[in-house]
Structure 1
Amino acid sequence: MCRIAAIISEDKPNLPARIAQMTQAMQHGGPDDTGHYVDDELPVALGHKRLSIIDLSSGGHQPYFSNDGQLVLSFNGEIYNYLELKKELREAGYSFRSDSDTEVLIYAYAEWGTDCLSKLEGMFAFVLIDKRKRKVIAARDHAGIKPLYYGKKGGDLYFSSEIRGISAIDQGWPQNTQWPVWFLSFGFIPEPHTTLQNVWHLPKQHYLLYDLDTRQYEIRCYEKFIFTSDIQSYDEAVSAVRETVTQAVKKHLIADVPTGVFLSGGIDSSILTIAAQQMVPEQLKTLSIYFEDEAYSEKYYQDLVIRKTNVAHRSYKVGRGEFVESLPDIYKAMDQPSTDGINSYFITRYAREEGLKVVLSGLGADELFGGYPSFKRTGNTSMAARLHLLSHVLPFGQLKYPQRKGAYYRKNRWYNDYLVNRGLFIPRDVAAMLNISQKEVNEVLASLPPLQDSGKVEQRNRTSQLESELYMQSQLLRDSDVYSMWHSLELRVPFLDKKIMQLVHRMDPVVKFNGSIPKQLLIDAFKNELPEEIWKRPKQGFTFPLETWFRTIPAFENPRYIPVRWQKEFSKKRINYSRVWGIFLLKTLGDRFPAGETDCSKSPDRLFMYLAAFSRTGGIEKVNRALLKAFEDAQPGQTDAYSVYDNFADQRYFPRSMFNGYNGNKARFMWNMLTKPVPWKHIVVGHINLALAARILKWRKKDISFTIMAHGIEAWPKVGGFKKWLLQNAAIIAVSEYTRKQISANNNIDLSAITVRHNCLDPFFSIPPIGKRPDYLLKRYGISPGEKIILTVTRLSDQEKYKGYDKTIEALSNIGIKENIRYLLCGNADTAEKSRIEELILSCNLSDRVIMPGFIADDELEDHYRLADAFVMPSKGEGFGIVFIEAAACGTPVIAGNSDGSAEAVLQGNGGYLVNADDVRQLQETIEKVLGSVLDREELGRQVQKAFSFNKYKNNILSHFSETNPPIHGD
């Protein structure tokens, strides 16, 4: 059991540092050894953190190399049939230098290629470099026991055992904006989704094959479990289950370190304990948890098994104090949000304290053999119909949460039955919490990929599918892996052995789910060994007295974390603790754990109200993000944020607990300005179009003061009404001297009332390696390495014809070497403008020279800057122009107009070239000059990065607010 990482990237000089960062972030999962490998020729790096289980010697060090050095492997997990495979490979002529299963795996691939995957019995995730074939293979086991994430950003591909491994090398990795919908609906994020944009789980039973020559990859299935009715005899099934489970336990005990069993007192752990004790020569170690509250204690049943097996058992008492004290570490360990798994945190911690490195768990038996109440409810259409009816005719306030779940049936989803059984919040409540419409929630939920053959499966098998593929796969297994590895412990799950899963899929459901007792088949297979009280008892999950304990957490009384409505629902016992825990995680995940914070009487002194920062892309939005982060970095928890258009805040910039988003609902935004308390002393207005909201706040609180952010054309014209009032009664921060002068001249504002604070690079702007063009973009656009490239990135709007890209096309048509130049004109275009520009391109005979790829995603923006020989945008209407400093920070020479705020972005020509935006000839000559010059792009990048760094901006912008609040000039 280990933690693995891999990177495929053209940025070879930085690969050693980046792979080290990824692996170090997962140190807890592999404290025994560390290994890194960066290939000399191929753009690949592997990382490994080892938890030694089999062959504790240095012979198991990874990344592991084949004898000829052509195969390199980073492997997480265990191959339980490695000895059988080793024998087969020896007969095929392979020799071995270690006793590790890692070496067997690398030669299994050498012999059988990817066909080896179907031969493996175990739990695994690995990344392998095949240098001879110039391929990279990443694979995940048959049951998805071991996690493997893969993420794409620009031309790079990353693999990691945990999301934190990917976050460690790029803190600016964008959030997946849909994750809150998934999480609030399920209580976890169902595979393949994660909290990060373009980062997914590699599906179980699949491998990813990456071609290092074409830079393309595909994901292929190597194994499927299909439900059949091959086994129809109950006696045959009983015998087969007993034999297969026994053999699975035997295989799962293979280890060179202390091994134990989690003994809860239930059927599954009791079977494992009884079977394991018969197979080990020494006294088997088992452990369990108990509580002061007898209602949650299973000690009586645990003692029955202990007396029968004479195992060396240790029980650990968990009390409220320890639980509260451990919450920050539970929170830190989580990696991805989940409302479950707290029990796994404690039992795995105690196992490690007991000196164990491997522990067997009964996870999986309920899903395969019908242990959950959901199996009894299968096919109960009358209950579903009643729930559906109740959801329409009764007020929600009169229903406890289980009855509200009939709302799930309002939409036809393949997993509605699962949500009725286990869902967290219904779409109506999810929409309300996220300030989005139910339609948006349902659109996200409708996108979950369906199960294979999900419509053709018998109802009880279908329930088994839902419990396995959703609850077990995305919550139980993930939580168990995260928390066990947090404590450097390998958790094994014998009931998910491949042969057991193959067996249960071959059984007729009448045989498999026989009788009225849950897991009757499994019980009958081990009835002679199981104490009768064990299998006759009602099922009880592995639970804590969390319902009681969560009521005593101070932070849960703070409405910033748990809104008052849900606090009331919890106090009236209309919702359980998992829903409150889910809301808390939504508000805080990614931030520090707010232990002990109950004082909500003191509100922040500052409100920043703005249009958008996270829901749209543009210069003003980037300024708003930088402001949010600057406020929070300087004074954590001292600024509230209200957004007209955002519905969600990216926690990297600003805490969600301090954020209110209105998702474009302007009426609701204004209503809250009229009715909500006004505790703030100072309001930062992010856009002049919010002048009415500012005036309302002033009417309601006379001693409030304002600062207005002035960007560009929105603030330049002469204004009247509320906008005029705001300019006259607020301190003004202009993004450029040009904007400052325009406001002063057009609105008769004294220049001394306007402060200039130049914009900055995004705090998470990633500076790529300067000088080397991204091959994947050259291939995408069909550009040869010898061609020159000029680039513009902007919005192409019929209403904004001042950007100068039409002049750039005209200039390009006059350049003598134009056949060796490509022009990438990037950005969304409205229909009228696109038509105008296409006609211009045609008239200039440049159809094969100008490429209009449309919108460029943030994860590829820096690579596009790096691709270009020059960034050209001779605009006449820029307040500043963040794209100029982004391009120059990447070492790309910039050509901008000299009549607006662009000049300040290019340091008055010291960080670029300035031209008369109307002089096509001058623009042509400047383009020719830049393309014909040899420039020190690295020096340019350093100069601009220093001049427009976020830290410099933060200090400058905060200096304004550190002074006494600006005077109020009038009412």
Structure 2
Amino acid sequence: MCRIAGLYDPESPDVAGKLLRMRDAMHRGGPDDAGMYLSPHLPLGLAHRRLSVIDLSQAGHQPMCHDMRPLVITFNGEIYNYRELRQNLMDAGEHFHTATDTEVILRGYARMGMDILPRLRGMFAFAIWDEEQRELLLVRDRMGIKPLYYGLQGTRFFFASELKAFRQAGFPLPVSLEAAAAFLQTGSIPVPLTLYENVWALPPGHYVRVQWRQDQPVVDEPTCWWCFTDLLATAQVRAGSQGYTPEAREAVRQALIDSLQVHLVADVEVGAFLSGGIDSTAIVSLLRQIGVPDIRTVSVVFPGHELDESNYARLAASHFHTRHEEVVVTLPDLLGQWEDMLGVMDQPTIDGLNVYMVSQAARKAGLKVVLSGLGGDELFGGYPSFRWVPRLRRWQASRWLPLAVQIAAWRARSVDRRRRLQAFVQQRQDPRAAYRLVRGLFTDAELQEMRWPSPLPANPYADLTDAPARKTPASPGHDRKDDKIEQVLTPLQYVSYLESRYYMRNQLLRDADVFSMAHGLELRVPFVDHHLYAAVWPYLDAAYRHGYPKRLLVEATGSLPLAIIHRPKQGFTFPFADWIRQEPLCGQIADGLHRLSKTLDLRLEGLCLPDSHWSRTWALFVLSQFVV
């Protein structure tokens, strides 16, 4: 796992100096080594910071050059099946000089071109520069586990794993009010937007080519090389929901074991986050079942708070005989590191600070790699959205919907919930309106009431990539094969798709990467694997209907303590609902909202009432830290 960057800047007399600042702005994500490549023909360079996990020797130094072709790669991530691919390439006549997965990508691309991409299993973002063709290729993994941002300003082109690299280089980065509005709508900034104008996130499962013509960068539209519809090529998924049988359970079990085993590929020790929930406990259970002898686990403790899960984590650790460590987090702990958290955050989010704290503890314990249960809720139906979205979709088709929603709004316990219900009625023709009702933060009407100073994204859960308003030569492409996916998926498969594509990609995975890598910790997500999705989706509806949420995961895993199986559902989050009402955080939030209101001339009165969800107040406060 690493950090990567690149720059083309014909107006700068010191490309190397700028690139060095970009690279070293991300030093925490790659503390073990650093490198740079400068083109002999153009004011262009690639840079790399390394967190060594596979082949710890200097042979893994990057950027890496091909010995026979004018190709240079800078790579962030892990290719879990690199040994198999390496052997295939050797059988085809390739000769390797390292034991790295980086060289596998480089030689695979040199031999097969873009055909190497579907063969890669892992998490990755990389850039390959072809000196002869004067062409740069940027690639991002299927699910968006590893980040990659790029920008175009006149004749200057740049890319990096973190947005802070662009700030450190001194590039002008005006805030995008469209992106800020999307953040308030959803709690995260949806791909391909970033907080800054003319800077984009490369969509997951996409690549983009940049070609130089008369020394001018020409940025193609990003091209989709994988999307969720590709799962339908699997016969079982294409057939829709299948019966839940012992054979189905065994098929899912084998897929879980397969994913876990490939995620253990490393030349360093691999630990695990353990919250005491079903997802993280299932990972630890499977680790024990496949024979991992010594399992190290880490969890967060909130002393005396109802969100504290430490008793369940200790139960799981004792049950599976792990070496367990805890990190105690209180409000003073949060405030003591708030400035650093904000700098790490890179762009606004309402989540992720929990990952910052537990990652810090894991790294202090000597771990470089941990497994996380992230993605289990999205894949196995753990969220309330799996109950509510199909139900709301049925209501959308009813002529009694307006009356039903009026009754529900009247009975709603909070003003913001009533407003979301009213917005749902107005968007009843949109199949994703039900999802926005469950997941959304502020409605369009509320942003208009706030006097938001820019046009609003029509629907943050629609594909912004296809919006005509994106007038730029770098306008990211749209995986149009997913357009009609609702028509071919079962109701619960569709919710899994929505949660995976939007909430998991835009928020959870981005936050997990940026906050773990801030401590030089590689976070791996065995549940976020396209092979596992193909194995689970055919049985998701049947298992959910005839049991309880996550029945498929519980029964395929086996050996989980009953107290954990039947415990109340609880997210892995900080107790912000209480903390934002305590000093000094309460005063800091009030000051932040006041400054945000003055800077953007907003009216915030009535939008953060005592009965509102804490995330609304927190979102406005976090945004104030970036735009004021």
TM-score, normalized by the shorter chain, greater than 0.5: yes
> Which of 318, 323, 330 is 2:341 aligned to?
330
Task: Measure the CA separation in 2 of the matches of 1:34 and 1:9.
Answer: 21
Q: Report deviation, 1:182.
A: 0.5
- Counterpart amino acid of residue 531 in structure 1: P
CA displacement, residues 139-197 of structure 1 (integer Å, 9 cap, x when unaligned): 01111100111111112321111111122223422322312210111111111111111
Native 8 Å contact 2:294 2:322 kept in 1: yes
Native 8 Å contact 1:80 1:254 kept in 2: yes
Moved more, 195-204 or 79-88: 195-204
2:376 maps to 365
Q: Does 1:588 align with 2:625?
A: yes
- Counterpart amino acid of residue 590 in structure 2: E
Q: Does 1:483 align with 2:515?
A: yes
Q: Does 1:530 align with 2:535?
A: no
CA displacement, residues 368-405 of structure 1 (integer Å, 9 cap, x when unaligned): 11111100113223766768865699799984322321
SS at 1:190's partner residue?
coil
Native 8 Å contact 1:391 1:404 kept in 2: no
Task: Measure the CA separation in 2 of the matches of 1:148 and 1:81.
Answer: 22
Native 8 Å contact 1:239 1:525 kept in 2: yes
CA displacement, residues 353-374 of structure 1 (integer Å, 9 cap, x when unaligned): 1111111001111111111110
Q: How does 1:556-955 map to 2 (within 5 A)?
A: 556-558=589-591, 560-561=594-595, 573-589=610-626, 651=627, 655=628
Task: Measure the CA separation in 2 of the matches of 1:549 and 1:460.
Answer: 35
Task: Measure the CA separation in 2 of the matches of 1:376 and 1:515.
Answer: 13
1:428 maps to 445
Residues 11 and 246 (structure 1), Cα distance of their counterparts in 2 relative to 1, 3 Å cut: same
Residues 399 and 514 (structure 1), Cα distance of their counterparts in 2 relative to 1, 3 Å cut: closer
2:471 maps to none
2:484 maps to 453
Native 8 Å contact 1:514 1:520 kept in 2: no
Moved more, 541-550 or 488-497: 541-550
> Which of 486, 508, 518 is 2:549 aligned to?
518
Residues 465 and 449 (structure 1), Cα distance of their counterparts in 2 relative to 1, 3 Å cut: farther
Q: Report deviation, 1:340.
A: 1.1
1:473 maps to 505
Q: Greater CA radius of gyration, 1 or 2?
A: 1
Native 8 Å contact 2:257 2:290 kept in 1: no
Q: RCO greater where, 1 or 2, for CA within 8 Å and sep 6 or more? A: 2
Unaligned runs of 5+ in 2: 467-481
SS at 1:157's partner residue?
strand
Native 8 Å contact 1:8 1:158 kept in 2: yes
Identity of aligned residues (%): 37
1:192 maps to 192
SS at 2:337's partner residue?
helix
Native 8 Å contact 2:269 2:367 kept in 1: yes
Native 8 Å contact 2:206 2:226 kept in 1: yes
Residues 452 and 397 (structure 1), Cα distance of their counterparts in 2 relative to 1, 3 Å cut: closer
Native 8 Å contact 2:177 2:453 kept in 1: no
2:177 maps to 177
Q: Report deviation, 1:130.
A: 2.1
Native 8 Å contact 2:409 2:421 kept in 1: no
1:222 maps to 225
Residues 100 and 538 (structure 1), Cα distance of their counterparts in 2 relative to 1, 3 Å cut: same
2:108 maps to 108
Native 8 Å contact 1:37 1:63 kept in 2: yes
Task: Measure the CA separation in 1 of the matches of 2:413 and 2:57.
Answer: 64
Residues 223 and 364 (structure 1), Cα distance of their counterparts in 2 relative to 1, 3 Å cut: same
Task: Measure the CA separation in 1 of the matches of 2:541 and 2:123.
Answer: 30
Native 8 Å contact 2:278 2:564 kept in 1: yes
- Counterpart amino acid of residue 225 in structure 2: Y
Q: How does 1:306-345 map to 2 (within 5 A)?
A: 306-345=317-356
Native 8 Å contact 2:108 2:116 kept in 1: yes
Moved more, 118-127 or 508-517: 508-517
Task: Measure the CA separation in 1 of the matches of 2:79 and 2:6.
Answer: 21
Native 8 Å contact 2:274 2:281 kept in 1: yes
Residues 36 and 258 (structure 1), Cα distance of their counterparts in 2 relative to 1, 3 Å cut: same
Task: Measure the CA separation in 2 of the matches of 1:390 and 1:369.
Answer: 29
> Which of 373, 393, 400 is 2:415 aligned to?
400
- Counterpart amino acid of residue 242 in structure 2: Q
1:164 maps to 164
Q: Report deviation, 1:26.
A: 1.0
Moved more, 537-546 or 82-91: 537-546
1:296 maps to 307
Task: Measure the CA separation in 1 of the matches of 2:130 and 2:78.
Answer: 21
Q: Report deviation, 1:567.
A: 7.9
1:550 maps to 580
Q: Report deviation, 1:443.
A: 4.2
2:242 maps to 232
CA displacement, residues 318-367 of structure 1 (integer Å, 9 cap, x when unaligned): 12221222222222211010011121111111111111111100111111
CA displacement, residues 651-685 of structure 1 (integer Å, 9 cap, x when unaligned): 4xxx3xxxxxxxxxxxxxxxxxxxxxxxxxxxxxx
Task: Measure the CA separation in 2 of the matches of 1:70 and 1:224.
Answer: 31
1:124 maps to 124
Q: Does 1:10 align with 2:13?
A: no
Task: Measure the CA separation in 1 of the matches of 2:62 and 2:180.
Answer: 37
- Counterpart amino acid of residue 87 in structure 2: K
Native 8 Å contact 2:248 2:539 kept in 1: no
SS at 1:286's partner residue?
strand
Residues 186 and 543 (structure 1), Cα distance of their counterparts in 2 relative to 1, 3 Å cut: same
1:785 maps to none
2:469 maps to none
SS at 1:23's partner residue?
helix
When normalised by structure 2's length, the TM-score is 0.87
Q: Does 1:419 align with 2:436?
A: yes
CA displacement, residues 389-441 of structure 1 (integer Å, 9 cap, x when unaligned): 6569979998432232113321354532222112111112212334448xx33
Task: Measure the CA separation in 2 of the matches of 1:568 and 1:547.
Answer: 18
- Counterpart amino acid of residue 422 in structure 2: A
Residues 240 and 508 (structure 1), Cα distance of their counterparts in 2 relative to 1, 3 Å cut: closer
Native 8 Å contact 2:253 2:557 kept in 1: yes
Residues 526 and 466 (structure 1), Cα distance of their counterparts in 2 relative to 1, 3 Å cut: same
1:265 maps to 276
Residues 33 and 569 (structure 1), Cα distance of their counterparts in 2 relative to 1, 3 Å cut: same
- Counterpart amino acid of residue 432 in structure 1: E
- Counterpart amino acid of residue 402 in structure 1: R
Q: Report deviation, 1:294.
A: 4.5
CA displacement, residues 782-804 of structure 1 (integer Å, 9 cap, x when unaligned): xxxxxxxxxxxxxxxxxxxxxxx
SS at 2:49's partner residue?
strand
Native 8 Å contact 2:286 2:557 kept in 1: no
When normalised by structure 1's length, the TM-score is 0.57
CA displacement, residues 713-752 of structure 1 (integer Å, 9 cap, x when unaligned): xxxxxxxxxxxxxxxxxxxxxxxxxxxxxxxxxxxxxxxx
